[in-house]
Structures are given as C-alpha cells and as structure tokens.
Amino acid sequence: MKNKLLFLWTTVFFINNFSGQELKELFSTLYEKKIFNGSAVASKSGEAVFSNQYGFSNMEQKEKMDEMSQFPIASITKTFTSTAVLQLQQKGKLKMEDPVQKYLPDFPYSNVSIRHLLNNTSGLAQEYHLFDTVIEENPEKLISNQDIIPTFLRFKTPLSFLPGSKWEYNNINFCIAAMIIEKVSGMSYTRYLDENIFKPAKMKNSLVPVNRKIKSQNQVERYTYPNLYSTRLVNVNTLKDPFLIQEKSNFYGNGGIVSTASDLKKYENALFTHQIIGKKELQEALTPTTLNDGKKVTFMIDGKEVSYGLGWAMYTDETDGKIVFHDGSINGLTSILLHNITKNQTVILLSNTGNAPVFAISKAVLNIMNHKPSAIPMQNLSRIYGSLLDNENKEKADQLIQEYLKNPHSYEASESDFNRLGYQFLRLQHCDHALKTFHSATLLFPMSWNVYDSYGEALLQCGKKEDGVTMYQKSIELNPENTNAKEMLLKIGNLSIKK
C-alpha cells in the first residue's frame, strides 16, 4: 500500500511539475512578445501549479513586479459584492426577491429586486452619461454611490426595460447592491468586506480604497495604447477618458477592490470550499439567469457562449467541466478569475496593461494543465497593420497582410478589430488609411457581409460613390437581409440592388 501511495504521489508531483514548467515557458514567451505584463497564478486541486510576475509595476521607474504588487481588479469585484449579499441572505437578513425599496426607500423603481441587480436584469440606466449635468455643475465633485439615487430622482430617469425582461451588463446594479449591504449590515462596504471576506480568507494584501484616485503603496501603475494603431504603451494618467464619469467617479461594489493574484487565489479557495459562503448560496450564484419569458440569458465572449448568474459568468458548454469566471477591464488594466469547478482548476491573471488577451491566455493555461495542445496567443494583426499605415509604410502593411494569408497562425486577427481600426481612421479623417484598412479586411474576411457594408460606408464618406455602391451590392449578395445596405443604396439613388 505504501508503494502504491508513493507511486501516486510521485506521479502527481511529476505531472504538476511538468505543467509548471510548460506554464513558465508560456508566460516567458507572452512577456517577450509584449502580450502579458503582470501577475499570474494557476492551481490544480487547491495547490498552486504556477505563480509568477512579469515586467514592471512602474515602467517609468523600472520597478519590477513582485508578489506584493497590488492591482485594481476591476469587475472581479462584482463577485465579492454578490458573495456579500448572499452571506446576508444566508444569515436571514434579506432575500433575493426583496424589492430594493425595502432597504433603500428613496429608490424610485418599485419593481426592481435585489436579484435583478445581481444578475444584470434591472433595466437601470447606465452610468456613462447619467451624471454629465451634475459634473458640469460641480467639476470638482467626485461621484459616488450616494449620488446615484438622487440623480435618478432629479432627472426622473426611466428604466431602459422591464426588470427581468432583458440582460444588460451594468455597473450601477452593483453600486446599488453595495448600498444594500451597508444598510442591512450597518457597516461600510469597506469594513464589511474586510471583516466577512478578506480576514476569513486570510487576504492580507487586499482593500477597498476610500478614494479610488489615491493609490496604495504597492499599487501598480497602469498602461494602455492611446489608440488602435499604436504599438507604444503610455501611462493612463497622460490620457483623457472620453466619458466624464470615468475621471470623476468613486464608485464601489462594481469595481474598486485592490488586490494581488495570490490573495485572489485565497479568495477562490475560501469561496469554493464554502468557508465564507454556504453551498446552497454558492450554487445560487452560479445558476444561469432565466428571463421573464423563460429564456436563459446567453451572450458571446471571445467566441464562446456564456451565461450569467449572480455576479458570475459561466460557459454554457460544460464538455471540459463547469467553468465559471469574471473578468475585469478598466483603462490600463485587464484581469480575470476563472475556476473549473469540475476539475478544481483555477487561473488568475492581473495585467497592468489594458490589452492583455486574458481569455486566450486562460484557455492556453487550462489546456496545458489538462495536457492538451495549446496555442500561444499571438500579437494583434490590426494594431501592427495600423501602425505601419500610420507611419506611411503602406508597402510593408500590404506585405504583412499577404504574409498572414499564407500563415494565419502568425498573428491574432479578428473582423471586429479591423472594423474598429477602419472606423477610427475614418473618424480622424484619414481616408487613405481607412480605405486601405477596409480593403485589407475584405481580403482577410471575404465572406463577411458586414466588412463590405463598412467598406461601402467608408467609400461614401471619402467621396468614392461608385465604389461604395459596389461594396454595398457585394454585402447584399452575401446577406440578402442586410437592410442597412439596401437603405443606403436607395438613399444615394442607386436602385440597381442585386436580388
């Protein structure tokens, strides 16, 4: 029996050690290719298979990442807010079906429940332009959770849809949920999380800052590309956000937690071993949402179908196990916490650049841990292509497209990326670059009616009417249901729509 146990232990050690070495090679390659800069943890059966940090926490000062480097985890925070609400339900302090008004009497929508908040089916207005007038009236004011309900009341803001009839990702939902946590518990959101999640999970390097604009001592600087065709990262502090609220907000509950990858591993372990929440409550959080019409909520992320529970997303395809996750993204920050419940495997990625392909990297990590073929995420083709155009290297840009057509595994290319790049050039009135981009998109995605539709629009805006008509006609050939192309052809007086 001893020999058998020793053999099993040796086998597990060898497999984990082998996976760890492969993961080390993966992340070294990702760092060298400037695809990942940050902190990563991968675990199997509760034990870390891999944990390491890459690059700089402060690129200007050349300060290297280490295990103590703290990141804003962005929307992974939503899982903490959901967990806190479910803890209160477990203690009998509230119920998911309770109306929000029961706890926040001034809340103006009587038919919105706590469940509607946590599963993103409330119909509440989005934050993006909700506070524009408030900010213009008082430019120095930081907008916080306490400003949401007064703003709803002042402007008589209507619901976007009947609660429960539609799913729409919305940060405001989790801000309101955080306020309910405070009202029911009698504590600030910060103190509640500290006493009921951080301390029980032994998360010593995690916090909810009182002011998100003030960085903690070990908090990383954040970097991003200033546009879709730049290949040079810049500090986010040098950029102006297109939405006023992003610069003036101090929301909590939807985001805001600052943590480390190793602390998030402790959180995941405490959560999924029912140390901070009961089995029944956790199962409720991880159950896909059903709308009023009986349909299950589904949407696409990175080419895969996903559903949403209470503060958690989950893949609908459970061939490789039940995989739940939440990612996060703010300017200069990308994050993900992903857990395969069936196989007890976890991937945590925190990157202080706003472009890290965390879903592709997570997939590669899981494949390595499960001894499956793994493709290393590649550099973004549209960004490099756009950079060449911006630097007037049109011949090299054309060569790049031809090289990719011969070897499609050399770069990461998507129709949406090229579409967005083309429109950005168009908005900047760089017609030559925009038309080159859309033309290249037709070579890369020749069966996409949407590409030809976009190309047609760009041609019209750049004064090339006849060529625009041709592209719209091609779009209709590929998709006879493309009403936009038909309407555009009628609008410009060309009635020769091919049936």
H or E segment to which residue 406 belongs:
helix 394-406
The pLDDT assigned to 17 comes to 64
pLDDT at residue 495 greater than cutoff 60 = no
- Which tens digits make up the pLDDT trace of 298-312? 998 888 999 999 999
pLDDT at residue 179 greater than cutoff 70 = yes
Report which residue type is found at 143.
I
Within this chain, do residues 220 and 351 fall inside the same structural domain, yes or no? Answer: yes
The pLDDT assigned to 245 comes to 87
- What is the greatest pairwise CA distance in the chain? 85
Within this chain, do residues 333 and 433 fall inside the same structural domain, yes or no? Answer: no
Looking at the domain assignment, is residue 9 inside a domain? no
How many percent of the chain have pLDDT more than 70?
Answer: 95
The pLDDT assigned to 102 comes to 98
Within this chain, do residues 179 and 257 fall inside the same structural domain, yes or no? Answer: yes
Within this chain, do residues 231 and 93 fall inside the same structural domain, yes or no? Answer: yes
The DSSP line for 34-73 is: TS--EEEEEEETTEEEEEEE-SEEETTTTEEP-TT-BEE-
Output the average pLDDT for the chain: 93
Confirm if 342 and 65 have CB atoms less than 8 A apart: no
pLDDT at residue 318 greater than cutoff 80 = yes
Within this chain, do residues 314 and 429 fall inside the same structural domain, yes or no? Answer: no
- Which tens digits make up the pLDDT trace of 240-267? 877 788 888 999 999 999 999 999 999 9
Within this chain, do residues 230 and 194 fall inside the same structural domain, yes or no? Answer: yes
The pLDDT assigned to 187 comes to 98
pLDDT at residue 9 greater than cutoff 60 = no
The DSSP line for 376-388 is: PPPPBHHHHHHHH
The pLDDT assigned to 191 comes to 98
Confirm if 34 and 184 have CB atoms less than 8 A apart: no
User: What residues pair up with 350 in beta bridges, in sequence order?
Assistant: 39, 335
Round to whole Å and give the CA distance between 254 and 391. 40
pLDDT at residue 214 greater than cutoff 90 = no
Map tokens 């609908």 to a residue. 316
Within this chain, do residues 343 and 435 fall inside the same structural domain, yes or no? Answer: no
pLDDT band at 497 (very low <50, low <70, confident <90, very high): very low
Count other Cβ atoms within 10 Å, centred on residue 292: 11
**pLDDT average, residue stretch 110-135:** 96
Round to whole Å and give the CA distance between 434 and 429. 8
Helix pair angle (449-461, 483-491), 10° resolution: 20
Looking at the domain assignment, is residue 30 inside a domain? no
- Which tens digits make up the pLDDT trace of 461-471? 999 999 999 99
Confirm if 67 and 262 have CB atoms less than 8 A apart: yes
Which structural domain, as residue segments, surrounds residue 455? 381-491
pLDDT band at 18 (very low <50, low <70, confident <90, very high): low
Task: Using the 3D structure, point to which of 346, 369, 392 is the last residue of a domain.
Answer: 369
The pLDDT assigned to 458 comes to 96
In CATH, what number is assigned to the domain containing residue 419? 1.25.40.10
Map tokens 């029944």 to a residue. 280
Which segments of 288-359 are extended strands (E)?
Answer: 299-301, 304-308, 313-315, 323-330, 333-340, 345-351
Number of domains in the chain: 2
Within this chain, do residues 392 and 357 fall inside the same structural domain, yes or no? Answer: no
Round to whole Å and give the CA distance between 372 and 492. 53
In CATH, what number is assigned to the domain containing residue 254? 3.40.710.10
| Predicted TM-score (pTM) of this structure | 0.88
Phi, psi dihedral angles at 410 (to 5 degrees) = -80, -25
| Helix, strand or coil, per DSSP, at residue 25 | helix
Round to whole Å and give the CA distance between 235 and 222. 6
pLDDT at residue 456 greater than cutoff 50 = yes
Looking at the domain assignment, is residue 162 inside a domain? yes
Confirm if 309 and 286 have CB atoms less than 8 A apart: yes
- Which tens digits make up the pLDDT trace of 328-383? 999 999 999 999 999 999 999 999 998 899 999 999 999 999 999 988 888 899 99
DSSP state at residue 147: G
The pLDDT assigned to 378 comes to 86
Q: Where are the alpha helices (DSSP H) in 249-393?
A: 261-272, 279-285, 358-369, 381-390
Round to whole Å and give the CA distance between 434 and 454. 10
pLDDT at residue 12 greater than cutoff 70 = no
Task: Using the 3D structure, point to which of 337, 369, 401 is the last residue of a domain.
Answer: 369
Looking at the domain assignment, is residue 3 inside a domain? no
**pLDDT average, residue stretch 397-405:** 96
Confirm if 346 and 362 have CB atoms less than 8 A apart: no
Looking at the domain assignment, is residue 421 inside a domain? yes
Within this chain, do residues 340 and 433 fall inside the same structural domain, yes or no? Answer: no
Which tokens belong to 368?
């390595």
Phi, psi dihedral angles at 208 (to 5 degrees) = -110, 105
Which segments of 69-174 are extended strands (E)?
Answer: 71-72
pLDDT band at 494 (very low <50, low <70, confident <90, very high): low
Which tokens belong to 468?
């625009």
Within this chain, do residues 100 and 231 fall inside the same structural domain, yes or no? Answer: yes
The pLDDT assigned to 213 comes to 85
How many percent of the chain have pLDDT more than 90?
Answer: 84
Phi, psi dihedral angles at 160 (to 5 degrees) = -75, -25
Highest mean pLDDT among 11-15, 123-127, 491-495: 123-127
Round to whole Å and give the CA distance between 17 and 20. 5
Within this chain, do residues 338 and 484 fall inside the same structural domain, yes or no? Answer: no
**pLDDT average, residue stretch 193-207:** 98
The pLDDT assigned to 243 comes to 78
pLDDT band at 145 (very low <50, low <70, confident <90, very high): very high
Task: Using the 3D structure, point to which of 369, 401, 430 is the last residue of a domain.
Answer: 369
The pLDDT assigned to 409 comes to 85
Looking at the domain assignment, is residue 64 inside a domain? no
pLDDT at residue 10 greater than cutoff 50 = no
Looking at the domain assignment, is residue 432 inside a domain? yes
pLDDT band at 229 (very low <50, low <70, confident <90, very high): very high
Q: Which tops the pLDDT comparison, 247 or 112?
A: 112
Round to whole Å and give the CA distance between 338 and 312. 10
- Which tens digits make up the pLDDT trace of 46-73? 888 999 999 999 999 999 999 999 999 9
Looking at the domain assignment, is residue 69 inside a domain? no
Within this chain, do residues 358 and 385 fall inside the same structural domain, yes or no? Answer: no
